[in-house]
Chain A
């Protein structure tokens, strides 16, 4: 699986959009981009994933650049409960070859 690079920490004001970047410059054509978050003392929670098109669900939006070398997770109206560590990972399509490596992620702090 390709490696990812994320900033170690970010702050965001409550009610504003939080934009979390991720670099995955070595991504290959059959790898998906996945985002998870981990709230303190809990297991990580799936947020969203994509291959090359932008994606949106009830939690967030995912913007993937045309060359697929980077992506941005957008939380449109951040709340205090969105304070967490956010992980960006890439995974191969073939399940038998897949294993995930989670880096240190980005610690997002949403402030009142």
Chain B
């Protein structure tokens, strides 16, 4: 069965800390995505990647960076965590190529609290 795994289900960090959220997919997918989900705001796209070492900004990239050194792994980095980055973070992947291959497969999410 296809799988997108996020390294932590819950994470508590302090303001100013550098935070790494890791995501791994086992489907050899080309595309990977990071979203954050906040009550009343739906899912908002932070960054996505359509190839190794390639990245593109989504709707809300400020305060975040990403890294994709290997095809299966996509990391979200908060250089200096702030309280307004407390949120549920969701990783997703898709095969790419259009139509059926644009189905997104999501991880279970990481609930990050920044104190």
- Interface residues in chain A, defined as those with a beta carbon under 8 Å from any beta carbon in chain B: 32, 34, 36, 41-46, 49, 51, 87, 91, 93-96, 98-105
Contact = CB atoms under 8 A, between A and B. Distances in A.
A46 B97 contact: no
Interface string B30-62: 110101000011111100101000001011000
Q: Is the interface of A mostly helix, strand, loop or mixed?
A: loop
A95 B50 contact: yes
B106 A32 contact: no
A49 B100 CA distance: 8
B102 A99 contact: no
A99 B45 contact: yes
B45 A46 contact: no
Nearest to A96: B50
B90 interface: yes
A34 B103 contact: yes
Size category of the B interface is 20 to 34
B106 A45 contact: yes
A57 B59 CA distance: 32
A101 to B, nearest CB: 7
Contact of B43 (A42, A51, A102): A102
Nearest to A43: B106
A28 to B, nearest CB: 14
A99 B58 contact: yes
A99 B41 CA distance: 17
A104 B104 contact: no
A25 to B, nearest CB: 19
A44 B104 contact: yes
B98 A95 contact: yes
